[in-house]
Structure formats: C-alpha cells, structure tokens
Chain A
C-alpha cells in the first residue's frame, strides 16, 4: 500500500466552480501535512501547510482528519490560473524527516 494516495483525476471544472481533492495516508504517526502545486515543467511549490485540523488562505482551504487519515483541499471560485497538478505530501519525523508524496491530482479550469 502506498504511503499517500490521491485521485489522479483529471478534474476539468468551469471557471468559478468549487473543486475538492482528497488524499489519504497510511501511517497514523504522520505529523505534518502539505499541499503543493506543480505547473508543467516547473518545480513543485508549497501551496499550504496543515499542522492542526485545517488551514485557510484566500480561496484555498485545507482540512485534516486524523481519525480517518485523510486531508482535503478545497478551491473556491476557480480561476484559469489554478490549472496545475496538486500534490499531497505527508511528513513522518519518526522515519527521520521523510516526506511522502502523492502522485498528484491534475486540475484544468475551463473558461
């Protein structure tokens, strides 16, 4: 079983829509959680860190459910510029600061 699993999509949504991505992780000892955004042929860039039950930054909201071991990312009022691949990342300090990446969810926002 993979440490982190994501629905690869693709998600194709119209501008202005709300979209949600889910991510599950297998190790209950996971301590830190992140969402990264990766544009084509670019490096992954940090979108949001999730250290408690959730985090909100403008149109982006991340939620963490430790009991069910999943993290979600919600994007409100989607913009064309939100089109990218979104990576779920989990960190486990008990394995020496190992980061585990999901395979990514592809989002295309359509005019």
Chain B
C-alpha cells in the first residue's frame, strides 16, 4: 500500500502568498482529516470529510483557510493569504470509518 500521500513535504513562502497543500488518501477509505501541529497547540483537527462531504470545519482558524475534496482520491487545504502564525506541520489522515486513521508524512510549512 502506498499509504497517505502529501505534497509538498516542505513549503517556505512569504507572508501574503497563497499556499496549497495536497493529499491523496488510502484507496477505499471514506474519511479524510486535516490536522495542524505546533509545539504550542499540539495536534489540532482543522476539518474532516466523510464520503467527500465536509462534516466538521469548526477547527478551521478563519476564512483564510479553505479545504476541498472534489473526489475520493484527492483533497486540498488552501491558505490565502498566509501569515507567519500559520507556520506548522500540516497532516492529512484517512480512515475507513470507524476504524483507525493513517497519517501522511505531513507538510512542514514556514511562512516568513
């Protein structure tokens, strides 16, 4: 199995730029999750989808963040405009409900 695939693995951008993070879940999984992790706040759930439909986006920090899942094999998390406080590791995870989640390797985002 390829596992959850995320790209890019590292992203360095300047404040104000648009950032798009991508995720390919494990084939056959019906739930997809976006998390953010920092030393200060730990692992935070941003949004999750069941069968490509957003179920809970209450963790999305503000309107600068948006996520889409156009089909079962692809999702994006977009930040526009980016700010230095968005610097974090962003993880995508997928599962076949209600079983365990599998995480991708993460995207390390640095906004200068």
B91 at interface, CB cutoff 8 A: yes
Q: How many residues of A contact B (CB 8 A)?
A: 22
A91 touches B98 (CB 8 A): yes
Residues of A within 8 A of B101 (CB): 34, 46, 89, 99
Residues of A40-72 at the interface with B, using a CB-CB cut-off of 8 Å, are: 41-46, 49
A22 at interface, CB cutoff 8 A: no
| 24 A/B residue pairs, CB under 8 Å, sorted by A | A32-B98, A32-B99, A32-B100, A34-B101, A42-B105, A43-B103, A43-B104, A44-B91, A44-B103, A49-B99, A49-B100, A95-B56, A96-B55, A97-B31, A97-B48, A97-B50, A97-B97, A97-B98, A98-B55, A98-B56, A99-B95, A101-B42, A104-B42, A104-B43
Please name the 10 residue pairs, one residue from A and one from B, whose CB atoms are nearest each other, closest first: A43-B103, A97-B97, A96-B55, A93-B98, A46-B100, A32-B98, A97-B31, A91-B98, A103-B42, A44-B103
